[in-house]
Amino acid sequence: MNEEDKIEMENSNIQDWRPFVYGGLASIVAELGTFPLDTTKTRLQIQGQKHDKKYSKLKYSGMIDALAKITKQEGFKGLYSGISSAILRQATYGTIKFGTYYSLKQSATDRWGTNDIVLINIVCAAIAGAISSAIANPTDVVKVRMQVTGVEANLTLYGCFQDVYQYEGIRGLWRGVGPTAQRAAIIAAVELPIYDFSKKELLPYIGDSVNNHFISSFIASMGSAVSSTPIDVVRTRLMNQRRIQTVDGSLPSYIYSNSIECFVQTFKNEGFFALYKGFIPTWLRMGPWNIIFFITYEQLKKF
């Protein structure tokens, strides 16, 4: 192997790792900028559960009310409850998701000579989303618990991990992994191919510019919010429920035994629109999140 071949191989290996690094960094930046909306979404999604006395009452009437009450009662820090777990999650989930997606796309390009086959892009995105979310599920569980309890509980990242493990075991850290993986697969399968498609279609008009990245990411966020919110509601409720030892020492069963039961009970007791609780903050978060992420990601690529 001559010197030129060695340099080409080294550059190829570096580029293989770039999507992982850029994806993780861009995900953390986007998370920091939109986390308060994620907290309001989580609080809205857990309320109104008719057979759970703790969350049966509607504490918040909507996104604006939730933002105002959390800020008033818990301070600005309340909106960032669980941010440490969110950063850890994105460092894991974002890194694996976007790195895997773009690596799979590159492999498809090397094999078939094109990365414009929509079905292949959808499959690559779904695989990347499901795998990364399943691996990062414990950080998601902890994030939801910390967001729900707020600053009053004074939970640390380590303390929350320890609490879940102590009372619910290793399975508790992977509570809700089914709907989490399903949601991530759907979001990725909708969001990433739509972004790539929109970006390509806009290239002749506005080029590979920040305006292109902005418009493409906004379009992608609309589709992912509509398709993923029902699963997100189920996922949040499953992750938030926990087993507490009773006075007689027995362990009561969970309110929902699986995602299908949670979906059915939510629809039966609260109606269809309960599956879209938190939709507005979800969409308003996904829009800025995607815009910040993809613009950051594209700039890192150019850098």
pLDDT confidence of residue 15: 54
Mapping DSSP to helix (H, G, I), strand (E, B) and coil, where does residue 249 land? coil
> Among 36, 30, 93, which residue's Cα sits nearest to residue 292?
30
Q: How confident is the model at residue 256 (pLDDT cuts 50, 70, 90)?
A: confident
**In Å, how far are 104, 107, 149, 247 from 289, measured between CA atoms?**
23, 27, 24, 45
Confidence of residue 287 (pLDDT cuts 50, 70, 90): confident
Residue 70, both tokens:
């959390």
Res 254 pLDDT > 80:
no
Q: Provide mean pLDDT across the span 223-232.
A: 89
Query: Per-residue pLDDT tens for 158-176?
Result: 999 998 898 888 988 998 8
Q: Which two tokens stand for residue 25?
A: 């960094």
If you ran DSSP here, which 8-state letter would residue 56 be given? -
**296 touches 30 (CB < 8 A):** yes
Contact 220, 198 (CB under 8 A): yes
pLDDT at 35: 94
State residue 14's pLDDT score.
44
- Give the integer Cα–Cα distance in Å for 217 and 209: 12
Residue 38 burial by CB count (10 A; 0-12/13-18/19+): exposed, middle or buried? buried
Neighbours of 294 (CB within 10 A): 26
CB 173 within 8 A of CB 141: yes
Domains of the chain: 18-242+251-302 (1.50.40.10)
Find the mean pLDDT for residues 270-291.
Answer: 89
Instruction: State what percent of residues in the chain have pLDDT above 90.
Output: 44
Nearest by Cα to 81 from 24, 30, 132, 145 = 145
Taking the C-alpha atoms of 98, 99, 101 and 105 in order, what is their torsion angle to the nearest 10 degrees? Answer: 140
- Matching residue, tokens 């979310």: 133
Tokens of 180: 């989490």
